[in-house]
Structure 1
Amino acid sequence: MGKPPLIFFIVLAIIAILATRQFIKQRREVAVNDASPLRVIPVEVKTKREFPASNRRSRQREVIPVEEMRYEAWFHPLNGAGDFKLVLTANDYHQIDKGVKGQLQVKGSRFVSFSPVMQ
């Protein structure tokens, strides 16, 4: 058969470089979040969404009950700053209701907790 074509090695090198770059980016984000101070922000829950973690758009999907889900919520700061999105755990996601105002605790870009304010 002979040697594999040069393009094969180039593709492997590109994949390795991109994977390494993504790993370094994730490690840097974790380090920044760990070093960030805990902030408490008065917010309103703008919207929330859950979707399959494997986000394949090329085919029509049905949700499989054992499929891993991803949860996120958009928050609107009551001080007038721009809306922002945070990734949540399933438990945190189900305890937050759309339109509720409360105190959001974040550490960098990491969700810590949300406490609704009784009106």
Structure 2
Amino acid sequence: MLTTIALLAGVQAAGVQAPIAEPAVQEEITVIGRKLRDWRGSLKTRNGTVRCVTRKSTGDREVDQIGCDAMVTCFPRFEGEFKAVLSTTRDKAVRNRVNTEISRRLATCVEQRHDELVETLADRRAARRS
């Protein structure tokens, strides 16, 4: 079964929040967050394997990887729920409502993972500049 899920990282990236960090790290977090707003990607699943494809690159390979890593980490946690709704619910309105709720929880997971990955990359880049 082939499933494609597209997530817009801009929605998640806008929520990048970090604890108060040194100015160089905070600057990197801001730059990375801005870049992630423009990133677009999609997931493809086939036979239990999840693959991310960058549809619109930020021009920064490490930032693009944050978008994909967050999606690939989070989607498998919710994939079974999406499949269950498709296979058990005939009522389109109910299916849409449930899918919307699952998608909200997926987006929350992606946002949290983005935050972690952005902070890690920002720390690494700030350390290189020092």
The alignment's TM-score, normalised by the length of structure 2, stands at: 0.23
Pick the structure with more strand per residue.
1
The alignment's TM-score, normalised by the length of structure 1, stands at: 0.24
Pick the structure with more helix per residue.
2
Point out the structure with max Rg over C-alpha.
1
